[in-house]
Amino acid sequence: MKKKLVILTGAGMSAESGISTFRDSDGLWEKYRVEDVATPEGFAANPQLVLDFYNQRRRELLTTKPNAGHIGLAELEKEFDVRIITQNIDNLHERAGSSQVIHLHGELMKACSVRDLETTYDLSPENPDIKIGDKDPQGVQLRPFIVWFGEAVPMIEPAIHWVEDCDIFVIIGTSLNVYPAAGLLNYVRRGQPIYLIDPKEVKAYRNDIHFIQKGASEGVKELTQLLLQNH
């Protein structure tokens, strides 16, 4: 049986595809206030601004491609039972070929209604925008299928099960600032190997982590060598 390799990814995973991270110096949060574009209150106050923000992100995503890191993780499925838990709302893991992906914070290419955050509608590359007046079959306004700050994170439950059950845990490109995602590290059983790929130092509150201080593409290459040698 293949070993279960669970991988938590964050914004840094997609940085080399040209999608800005949020907390680096040229990150998105420099240009937009979180409260304005990533909270239900921000949407209630100015829905047009919020729809425009995600319409832009969606159009940007359509011009990007998975990087060597995404592709390397998809290739690891030959040797391992790879399960990806991502904080990213892009679809680059799926486009690289990864077959088991949990999105903790929603998906950019989907919409839901403001009253039902669970039923989703696919947005097409040909018609990617959500506009005021776009409604679900019940006549309720659509919004981006994104978990905003202050909203529940329903996918954390299946993610916790994956982490509790993993043989090897990997973290790539996340500053581990956003909860409950960052707390997943607590569910890795003692003694299970943990690898962390990030070009910067990341404060992880455990001392049993093998740190690979590289960007995602180079880091996944090194990780693959280590995994094939050691496991």
Interactions with ligand NAD, residue window 60-119 (CB under 6 A): 87-90, 105
Which one, 54 or 80, has the nearer CB to ligand NAD?
54
* Longest alpha-carbon distance in the chain: 56
Is residue 105 part of the annotated active site? The answer reads yes
Helix, strand, or coil here: 165? coil
Which one, 14 or 98, has the nearer CB to ligand NAD?
14
Residue 216 in the binding site for ligand NAD (CB under 6 A): yes
Residue 123 in the binding site for ligand NAD (CB under 6 A): no
Residue in 6, 23, 78 with CA at minimum distance from that of residue 202: 23
Residue 178 in the binding site for ligand NAD (CB under 6 A): yes
Torsion sign over Cα 40, 179, 144, 54: positive
Residue 24 in the binding site for ligand NAD (CB under 6 A): yes
Residue in 132, 147, 154, 111 with CA at minimum distance from that of residue 46: 132
Helix (H) or strand (E) holding 51: helix 47-62
Closest CB 230 distance from ligand NAD, rounded Å:
21
The residues annotated as belonging to the active site are 105
